[in-house]
Amino acid sequence: MNDFFTMMERLQGMLDSDDVEVVTNDGASVRGKIDNLRSTQPFSKPAVKILSANGKITKVLFADIRDIIDHKKS
């Protein structure tokens, strides 16, 4: 899932969800709420930050994302 615009559209649609899961290319997953969606800052790669239930914030680069699941809609 490497298309930037598709990724932004999907993630923006999940900003109000408290139960989003991001699965990376290496099979790891992070589940929680989207804390920050960074896409246009100079000198930075597009990334999403996920706030997990235990308060840990994990940054995942768009290039590393294999799948995005909104468990609230499931």
pLDDT score at 2: 56
Q: Are 18 and 33 in contact (CB under 8 A)?
A: yes
Question: 4-70 is classed in which CATH architecture?
Answer: Roll (2.30)
Please give the structure tokens belonging to residue 17.
């969800």
Determine the pLDDT at residue 49: 93
pLDDT of residue 29: 96
Residue 33 φ/ψ region, left for φ over 0, alpha for ψ in the -120 to 50 degree band, beta for the rest? beta
pLDDT of 8:
87
Prediction pTM value: 0.84
Domain range list for the chain = 4-70
The predicted-structure confidence for 39-54, as pLDDT tens digits, reads as follows: 656 777 889 999 999 9
Residues in the chain where the model's pLDDT stays below 50: none
